[in-house]
Amino acid sequence: MNKLSPSSITQAHTLIKPHIHRTPVLTNQTLNRLASTPQPASADQEPEVEPAHPRFRFFFKCENLQRIGAFKARGAFHALLRLIEERGEDEVRKRGVVTHSSGNHAQALALAAHTLNIPAYIVMPSISTVSKIEGTRAYGAKILFSGSTSTEREAVVADVQNETGAILIPPYDDANIILGQGTTGLELEEQYIELVRQEPGLSAHASPSLDAVITPVGGGGLNSGVATFFSDKRTTVFGAEPSYQGADDCRRGLERGERVEAVKSLTVADGLRTPVGVLNWGVISDKSKVGGVFAVTEEQIAAAMRLVLERMKVVVEPSAVVGLAVCLFNEEFRRLVEREGGEEGWDVGIVFSGGNTTVEAIGKLFS
């Protein structure tokens, strides 16, 4: 198993670079201004407490424009290429690979397996987004349906392994998956520096350096990978989750000091309905690597998504915008930025994790 370290992420990037897109990093002055404006007090706020007044400069890493429409292509290619290195191409091709996913990892592994000519079995919850099911099927993977919880998915995976001998490539709780996802952070830092060198006014600082990066947290592969990459730098990594029906398991786990093992939520951010993996938890719960995890409501996710669609003209899925929603609406996080950033404020990298939604789903969300 590869060690979770910044150098291992650099090695992972070299390995997968021929198979992935270097997705763009975008800025948006309107969203900077909106996030840097005090928000109206919410119903659960003390009326006499002044709203936070942080200052943000955003740098959006658009993994919605990654192959299969999400960052998951990074981890899937890395894990499969390492598996072939370790087991040999003949054995992997003979046995095939299996995973479970609500959609983005499903499509990613289907793509990687198709590219490398490996049979793939994908277990998907029956309530998965239709476009994600069809995207997975388009790469020739065999799809099997399950219930929506991790326990139900894993039971079907076990059946597939018993019948076929397929090798499991987990969706997030795996070192090679984490290292692959961490390449998102490597590119974000490089592109941020390139952008600010070309246009210094984009940064809050005379010597440009990302103050923070915020990513969605579902199983935790992206967040723990990005946190691993930045673990030897001054950039602080944060996580963002939906609060609906307890989908903020990571935030709650950090509060109580132990990992929450099960989640059963139908949050609109369907990519974030899983509990944080064991290996991922080991990184995210390390305060030297992750500065905290913050939660937002369904309404706040929808509001952030509307802003991205209308102001940035970028198509994203709800899971992708929870980090932006935290910056816009979570007063605890906004006070932290106000306190730590002072007059200059913070340069914040936000990962748009994916864009796999449909016109019908968007229409329903905003109807």
The pLDDT of residue 367: 87
- Domain extent for 108: 72-168
| Average pLDDT estimate for 214-219 | 96
Band of pLDDT at residue 127, cut at 50, 70 and 90 = confident
178: closest CA among 88, 324, 290? 290
The pLDDT of residue 1: 47
45 pLDDT exceeds 70?
A: no
Q: Is 15 helix (H, G, I), strand (E, B) or coil?
A: helix
Strand partners, 60: 26, 350
Distance, CA of 297 to CA of 14 (rounded, Å): 38
83 pLDDT exceeds 60?
A: yes
| Average pLDDT estimate for 87-99 | 96
Calculate the average pLDDT of the chain. 94
Residues 235 and 323 in one domain: yes
256 pLDDT exceeds 80?
A: yes
Residues 293 and 345 in one domain: yes
Residues 178 and 139 in one domain: no
Q: Which helix (H) or strand (E) holds 202?
A: none
Residues 246 and 324 in one domain: yes
| Contacts (Cβ under 8 Å, ≥6 apart) of 245 | 264, 265, 266, 267
**Whole-model pTM?**
0.94
Band of pLDDT at residue 48, cut at 50, 70 and 90 = low
42 pLDDT exceeds 80?
A: no
43 pLDDT exceeds 70?
A: no
Residues 289 and 340 in one domain: yes
- Which residue type, as a one-letter code, is found at position 106? A
E strands, 35-165, are 56-62, 97-100, 120-125, 142-146
The domain spanning residue 81 has which CATH number?
Answer: 3.40.50.1100
Examine residue 1 and state whether it is found in any structural domain, yes or no: no
* Strand duo 25-26 + 56-62: pairing: antiparallel
55-69, pLDDT tens digit by residue? Answer: 999 999 999 999 999
Q: Which helix (H) or strand (E) holds 17?
A: none
- Which residue type, as a one-letter code, is found at position 282? G
Number of structural domains (the chain) is 2
Residues 37 and 158 in one domain: no
Residues 231 and 195 in one domain: yes
Residues 214 and 304 in one domain: yes
Question: Which of 146, 168, 190 is the endpoint of a domain?
Answer: 168
The pLDDT of residue 150: 74
Q: In the chain, what percentage of residues exceed pLDDT 90?
A: 85
Please indicate whether residue 130 or residue 118 has the higher confidence score (pLDDT). 118
| Average pLDDT estimate for 112-138 | 92
Active site residues: 72, 102
2 pLDDT exceeds 80?
A: no
Distances in Å between the Cα of 77 and the Cα atoms of 13, 115, 136, 165, 305 are 10, 9, 15, 20, 28
The pLDDT of residue 119: 96
Residues 97 and 190 in one domain: no
Residues 145 and 193 in one domain: no
Residues 85 and 49 in one domain: no
| Average pLDDT estimate for 321-343 | 97
3-35, pLDDT tens digit by residue? Answer: 899 999 999 999 999 999 999 999 999 999 999
Band of pLDDT at residue 49, cut at 50, 70 and 90 = confident
Examine residue 187 and state whether it is found in any structural domain, yes or no: yes
